[in-house]
Amino acid sequence: MKHLPFILVFSLLLFLSVIQASSAQSYKWRLAMSWPEGTPMLHNAAARFAGNVEKMSGGRMQIIVDAPGRHKAPLGIFDMVRSGAYEMGHTASYYYKGKDPATTFFTTTPFGMNPTEMNAWYYYGGGLELLNKVYARHNIVAFPAGNTHIQMGGWFRKEINSLEDLKGLKMRIPGHAGEVVGKAGMKPVSIPPGELYTSLERGTIDAVEWVGPANDVKMGFQKIAPYYYTGWHEPGAELHVFINKKEFDALPEDLKAIITIAAKEVSFDMLSESFYRNVIAWKKMREKSDIKIRSFPKDVLDAFRKANKELLIQAAGKSLLAKEVIQSQQIFLNKAKHWSQITDADYLQLR
Amino acid sequence: MKHLPFILVFSLLLFLSVIQASSAQSYKWRLAMSWPEGTPMLHNAAARFAGNVEKMSGGRMQIIVDAPGRHKAPLGIFDMVRSGAYEMGHTASYYYKGKDPATTFFTTTPFGMNPTEMNAWYYYGGGLELLNKVYARHNIVAFPAGNTHIQMGGWFRKEINSLEDLKGLKMRIPGHAGEVVGKAGMKPVSIPPGELYTSLERGTIDAVEWVGPANDVKMGFQKIAPYYYTGWHEPGAELHVFINKKEFDALPEDLKAIITIAAKEVSFDMLSESFYRNVIAWKKMREKSDIKIRSFPKDVLDAFRKANKELLIQAAGKSLLAKEVIQSQQIFLNKAKHWSQITDADYLQLR
């Protein structure tokens, strides 16, 4: 029995190695994003999230980011994550209105919260809990994960002096905002990105809403549609990370914390990156082109506001959860408005 | 030699265990914060940072947060972290002007950047690199780690209708902003927090600048100084995490990433928490007290602006690095101003 100590220590070490190896199990996950490879800010946000998870986990979790060129379903992230075809996605909640009407307003609402208000609502005003109340029904865990900052109202070929000038104008503007302008008399149209410039140049369309100077500058809209209207319809669109709920729930606690905080970091970071890149691109654009900044006249804004209100009431009527989301946002915004006015608005005016 | 296989496997396992144990070395660090225990937002931010590092590291790094009640040096965090007496601190860079004049404007600058602009400058405009160029000379690694949102201009017992009304008024307002109002004819004074209410009530002082409704509501200023002026002097004060550079550099890469991202998360989170809590406190305050919101008249703002400009030139003259910081901020702000105007300001006006 002279080997007994050897065998005992050996067994103990073997046991410890197995324990450590299992606690350090590694994961190779795939993330499907809605954006084509190289899209400023948007692709960066997905790549940054994946990179931070890998660094913080010491390589225990690796996330491969796939663009639509590979997965072929830019607006199908919801289904691919729900089914587990992809463990993760990076997309925007409002693309999935058809799957669940309650998902629409987690991205943005016309005349709604700006990014500061939106973040306060998400992290302290119950927004994150509501988001996951909605998504849990679809086997998805969702996090806010990137904000575009306030988007401008679009490039117009002609100046808009009254609601009358808008009637019948064809504009590329998608989603809920498209429905709003439609109700106000415009014709919202859908055109592939590659054909936008030519359509605008030839007058097939009269106006186009895209993202912001950093993304728009390459498109060249400013050369042919010099009236640039200030924003009302997407006051800070928030993107989201989706995770298959079953997969997420099975992760060890430290990886859950790492993913949660990496998503929040990227939500914050993309807002800063969007603001920074838009500032730089905007300066360049203005130096090279004679861009005319305009705000929509009062009767146009009133018509948009009215149409938006009606559509929100309609949306709230279709689903109890959608109603809960819309009301939660409105209640917080009504409280926040005055504070935003005497701080953010007042400061930018007096500075 | 029949034990040879045993001995070889034993040695290998021993080696692997040692390797794994060392990669999983744990750390128990201490963080000294400037704020008394229980201070809304500020204490929360330090505790949240520590908690997130612990969760993300699976307990490998534990951070004990000490309040001034224990370390006795609320404004001495710089020295304690530099020397290694504490591995970490949570404080505001502008408290350490006496140590290095270049540290002042990393927190905020009167008439300077708002939180969105500040974050764009920190993370994309070279601010973070400058911060660490300054702090590396003091053996400190620094991160932005919490923002108060735009601060109001203070509670006044009487209405201010012109620069003349300000002359000789005694106001509790610290630091650089105190110097600005001093140059404009006021008398900035320093009074311990516990004596502020009585001093204001008895007329020993005429005005007080504190933090924001969430912190001010308990102080009760609104009952005796009902004129609440909008902000100009701290458009989003940023706090900082300090880390002893030698200790930080010796950490494994995953813990460095975890600390870096936990600091960024808390910078973002405190902005949301500050905004949220101020919204709620502000609503309560207004319901209970007759608060009169005022903006300073033009001649007062002009005098503040002029005094601020002179003090910035003076500060830039004292240190090449201070000059670099001031110029970097001004160059970015000059680019950003127009974009902020046609997005953030315009949106809050038309909404």
Check CB contact of A2 with chain B, cutoff 8 Å. Answer: no
pLDDT at site A15? 59
Q: How far apart are CA A137 and CA B176, in angstroms?
A: 53
Find chain A residues with C-beta within 8 A of B51's C-beta: none
Q: Tell me which chain B residue has its CA closest to the CA of residue A252.
A: B58
Distances (CA, A) of A193 to A39, A145, A203: 12, 24, 16
Q: In chain B, what is the greatest distance between 2 CA atoms, to the nearest angstrom?
A: 100
Of A121, A125, A264, the CB nearest to B268: A264
Strand-pair partners of B240: B91, B144
Closest CA to A231 of A118, A151, A112, A117: A151
CA distance B216 to B226: 13
Q: Which residues have C-beta within 8 Å of that of residue B193, sequence separation ≥ 6?
A: B219
Q: If you average pLDDT over every residue of chain A, what do you get? A: 94
A98 touches chain B (CB under 8 A): no
**Weakest-pLDDT range from A8-17, A78-87, A227-236, B127-136:** A8-17
Q: What is the pLDDT of residue A193?
A: 84
Residues of chain B below pLDDT 70: 1-23
- Would you call A350 and B230 a contact, using CB atoms and an 8 Å cutoff? yes
Cα end-to-end distance, chain B, whole Å? 86
pLDDT of residue A94: 95
d(CA B238, CA B95): 12
Per-residue buried b or exposed e for A66-86, using 16+ beta carbons within 10 Å of the residue's own CB: bbbeebebbebbbebbbeeeb
Residue A239 has, within 13 A of its CA and on its CB side, a CA count of 30
Cα–Cα distance for residue pair A324/A100, rounded to 1 Å = 13
Tokens standing for residue A8 = 């005992």
Taken in order of first residue, the domains within chain B and their CATH numbers are 26-150+236-276 (3.40.190.170)
Nearest to A113 by CA among A103, A102, A125, A101: A125
> A83 touching B, CB under 8 A?
no
Instruction: Give me the pLDDT at residue A24, please.
Output: 75
> For tokens 């104008």, what's the residue?
A169
pLDDT beyond 60 at A17: no
Distance (Å, whole) CA A110 – CA A309: 9
Regarding beta strands B170-172 and B207-208, do their DSSP bridges make them parallel or antiparallel, or are they unpaired? parallel
Of B261, B275, B340, the CB nearest to A52: B261
Burial (Cβ within 10 Å: 0-12, 13-18, ≥19) of residue B26? exposed
Q: How confident is the model at residue A273 (pLDDT cuts 50, 70, 90)?
A: very high
**pLDDT, position B347:** 98
Mind giving me the DSSP string for B143-160?
Answer: EEEEE--BPP-EEESS--
Which residues of A are less than 8 Å from B7 in CB distance?
A: 6
Percent pLDDT > 70 in chain A is 93
* pTM reported for the whole predicted model: 0.94
Give A262's contacts in chain B (Cβ within 8 Å): 261
A1: chain B residues, CB-CB within 8 Å: none
Between strands B27-33 and B88-91, the pairing is parallel
| Contact predicate B224/B201, CB 8 Å | yes
Q: Which of residues 326-345 of B touch A (CB under 8 A)?
A: 332, 335-345
Torsional class of B138: left (φ above 0), alpha (ψ -120 to 50), beta (otherwise)? alpha
Please compute, for residue A182, the number of CA atoms within 13 A of its CA located in the half-sphere on the CB side.
13
Name chain A contacts of B350, Cβ cutoff 8 Å. Answer: 230, 232, 295-296, 301
Q: Is residue A120 a contact partner of residue B272, using CB atoms and an 8 Å limit?
A: yes
Neighbours of B347 (CB within 10 A): 24
Task: State whether residue B302 sits within 8 Å of chain A by CB.
Answer: no
Instruction: Identify the CA nearest to A170 among candidates A203, A195, A193, A211.
Output: A203
Q: According to DSSP H, which parts of chain B are helical? A: 4-23, 42-56, 68-71, 77-83, 115-124, 127-136, 163-166, 175-183, 196-202, 213-216, 221-224, 245-249, 253-288, 298-318, 320-340, 346-350
Contact yes or no for B319/B256 (Cβ under 8 A): no
The nearest alpha carbon in chain B to A343 belongs to B150
> What are the backbone dihedrals phi and psi of residue A206, each rounded to the nearest 5 degrees, phi first?
-105, -15
CB of B188 closer than 8 Å to CB of B311: no
Backbone φ/ψ region at A38: left (φ over 0), alpha (ψ -120 to 50), beta: left
Residues A78-106 have a mean pLDDT of 97
- pLDDT tens-digit map of A57-77: 999 999 999 999 999 999 999
Q: Is the pLDDT of residue A295 over 60?
A: yes
**Beta partners for B188?**
B171
B94: which residues sit within 8 A by CB, 6+ positions away?
A: B103, B104, B105, B106, B107, B108, B175, B176, B237
d(CA B125, CA A271): 14
